[in-house]
Structure 1
């Protein structure tokens, strides 16, 4: 590993910060907003995926795919519940 950080590594760090922030938000709030929680997780997974496509680590890349899929599922569920509550 070189001592210099490239843009893709920095993007990965921002993604990591998003995922940590989402977990902290989930832990802190009694009733977290699912759009904030899952949206932040999806953003983090996407940013980490960008980094991992350049600096490939296959297990981490697969993990981010699952992380993104769960976040999308959570967002879809939240949208369905919002529509249901609006009717």
Structure 2
């Protein structure tokens, strides 16, 4: 079950990344930010439970940045720009 959770989290992050690289998805879009936030949150919890501190740090920062971008989008701002 542990491996299934990791694969789901990774697939969520990778789906957004691959679609963005092929310009099928805007990296500042709601969908991209949500799949990154959910995927990285899953992997953050999994890394914490497994005492994998480097992986934990990577995924925690990924989740925080995704959440920040999502917050900016919800507030009506483009992520990565200042108004």
Task: Tell me if structure 1 keeps the 8 A contact 2:16–2:25.
Answer: no
CA-atom RMSD in angstroms: 1.8
**Quick check: 20-29 or 68-77, which moved more?**
20-29
Counterpart among 54, 65, 69 of residue 64 in structure 2: 69
Q: TM-score, with normalisation over the residues of structure 2?
A: 0.79
Comparing both chains, which one has the higher relative contact order based on Cα–Cα distances under 8 Å and sequence gaps of 6 or more? 1
Task: Tell me if structure 2 keeps the 8 A contact 1:18–1:40.
Answer: yes
Consecutive unaligned residues of structure 1, counting only runs of 5 or more, are 1-6, 83-87
Q: What are the Cα deviations for residues 12-63 of structure 1, in whole angstroms up to 9, with x where unaligned?
A: 1110111111101211236626110010000111111232122221011011
Count residues in correspondence.
76
Q: Assess, with a 3 A threshold, how the Cα gap between structure 1 residues 31 and 9 changes in structure 2: closer, same or farther.
A: closer
SS across alignment from 2:70: helix
